[in-house]
Amino acid sequence: MKLPYFILLLNLLFVRVQAQNNAIEISGTIAGTYNSRMYIFFDGEIKEKISTPITDGKFHFTINRQGPVLARLHLDQKSLLWDVYIEGANMEIACTNEMKIDKDTFNMFFVTAVKGSRTEELKRNFESWLDKLKKSGQDEKAVNEQYYQQLLAVVQNNPGSKVSPYLIGKATSLPIEKLETLTKLVSPALAGTFEVKQAEKLLTRRRYQQEHIVIGDAFKNFALVDKESHTVNLEQYKGRYLYIVLWGSHCAPCIKEQPNIKALFGNKDVEILSISTDRDLSKWITTLSGKDLPWPQALDKNDAIMSYYGIEAIPCHILLDKDGKIFKWDLQLERLENMMAGKELN
């Protein structure tokens, strides 16, 4: 009768031994100004993040996971996030941080060196090469061709490494045809991993961009709401040019350009509508209450516009003509000002 309990005990011991075998010890250092804790989460699951104290510029994690696994590290409050592949028994991570304090605290957090992960070494070597390429001063076409060829070599040589789909998922400047070629080279054994899912999402966005971002086509009338939760219908703007600015309260470049948008407000040639991609209505309203934004504001809490048009980053600027059709896509403020000055909007 006691045999099942004995088997259960053996299973528990086996699980414990396996967890110990999978344990990854991370020893870290951080220089500069910082708060008291370091945070880490895995495969994009930010809600499952864990933290550890920083003491005298040092921190330590014991991670019971099968490596290599993609970890993201960050500090308290608003912070840059850094991707690091963790694996092996022991790793060392060196970081720096600068706290920028205005109304809020923002951590300019950087991972400067990693030891003990061959997967991370492969990733960082490619990223370092790419950074130098982008700073080389070559034209965009030449940069993208070299980018593709180098990434192609990495994927061909490492089809079973998570780094391959990870880097593909970051290759937002490459055309969809080349992204599809690269994706086909990734080992089927990686299907379902976080990295492959991210690469597939990029491909999906690119397909949506090709299908939906067509100059002269009507801009889709999505379900938007204003601060009072009233429906905002884009049909009401027909008869005038409409400059749509997609933004978010977490987006520093979005906040930075708002004074320039305000300067255009009231121009007889163009209506302005800022559409927030924030998910929380109350937080969005709180953000608006602390800012002087007199032009119309709307919320797309379901990210319908971002999803339908495959938009990859904010701020995003779209100019619709008087019939509500896409006239210009990704039209920066400076270019809009030049168009208005040149009487191009009649």
Are residues 234 and 165 part of one domain?
A: no
Quote the pLDDT of residue 281. Answer: 85
Percent of residues, the chain, with pLDDT higher than 70: 93
Considering the domain architecture, whether residues 30 and 45 belong to the same structural domain is answered as yes
Give yes or no: residues 206 and 246 share one domain.
no
CB 203 within 8 A of CB 310: no
How many residues can be counted in the chain? 346
CATH number of the domain bearing residue 319: 3.40.30.10
**pLDDT at position 20, please?**
46
Given a cut of 60, is residue 14 above it in pLDDT?
Answer: no
Residue 12 lies in a domain: no
pLDDT of residue 171: 96
Across residues 10-30, what is the average pLDDT? 68
Q: Which residue type occupies 160?
A: G
| Confidence band, pLDDT 50/70/90 cuts, at residue 1 | very low
In a domain, 94, yes or no: yes
**Cα angle 192, 195, 201; round to 5:** 85
Q: What is the pLDDT of residue 8?
A: 56
* Domain membership flag for residue 108: yes
Inter-residue contact 237 to 315 (CB < 8 Å): no
| Residues 111, 126 within the same domain | no
Same structural domain, 317 and 247: yes
DSSP labels for 23-50? Answer: EEEEEEEEEES--SEEEEEETT-GGG-E
Same domain, 297 and 201: no
Q: Is residue 126 situated within a structural domain?
A: yes
Read off the tokens for 288: 């608006």
- Nearest Cα to Cα of residue 71 among 57, 54, 51: 51
**Mean pLDDT confidence for 266-282:** 89
Within-domain flag for 81: yes
Average pLDDT over residues 215-225: 93
Q: Which of 144, 177, 212 finishes a domain?
A: 212
Q: Where a domain ends, among 85, 100, 116?
A: 116
Any domain includes 3: no
CA distances from 202 to 72, 80, 193, 196 (A): 20, 22, 15, 10
**Structure-token match 């492969």, residue found:** 122
Residue-number span of the structural domain to which 303 is assigned: 224-341
In angstroms, the Cα distances linking 125 to 131, 151, 152 are 10, 12, 15
End of a domain among 116, 137, 171?
116
**CATH number of the domain within which 91 lies:** 2.60.40.10
Q: Picking from 6-10, 181-185, 333-337, 341-345, which range would have the lowest pLDDT averaged per residue?
A: 6-10
Q: How far apart are the first and last CA of the chain?
A: 90
Whether a cis peptide bond, with omega within 30° of 0, leads into 315 is: yes
Q: Six-digit token pair at 212?
A: 């939906």
- 134 vs 143: CA distance, rounded Å: 7
Residues 84 and 43 in one domain: yes
The answer to whether residue 7 is domain-embedded is no
Q: Is the pLDDT of residue 291 over 60?
A: yes
Verify that 246 and 308 share a domain, yes or no. Answer: yes
On whether the CB atoms of residues 111 and 94 are closer than 8 A, the answer is yes
Reference 148, options 185, 195, 105; nearest CA is: 185
| Res 9: pLDDT | 53
Tally the domains of the chain. Answer: 3
Residue type, 237: Y
Mean pLDDT of the chain: 90
Residues 183 and 264 reside in one and the same domain: no
CA dist 176 and 121 (Å) reads 27
Helices (H) and strands (E) in the chain, counts: 10, 16
Claim to verify: residue 66 and residue 99 sit in the same structural domain: yes
Q: Is the pLDDT of residue 301 over 90?
A: no
Question: What's the pLDDT at 106?
Answer: 82
pLDDT, position 38 = 96
Q: What is the pLDDT of residue 319?
A: 96
Question: Strand, helix or coil at 135?
Answer: coil
Q: Which of 175-189, 193-207, 245-259 has the lowest mean pLDDT?
A: 245-259
What is the tens place of the pLDDT at every residue in 93-141? 999 999 987 666 788 999 999 999 999 999 999 999 999 999 999 999 9
- Structural domain includes residue 217: no
Identify whether residues 333 and 232 lie together within a single domain: yes
pLDDT band at 17 (very low <50, low <70, confident <90, very high): very low
Is 130 found in the same domain as 54? no
C-alpha to C-alpha distance for 52 and 344, rounded to whole angstroms: 57
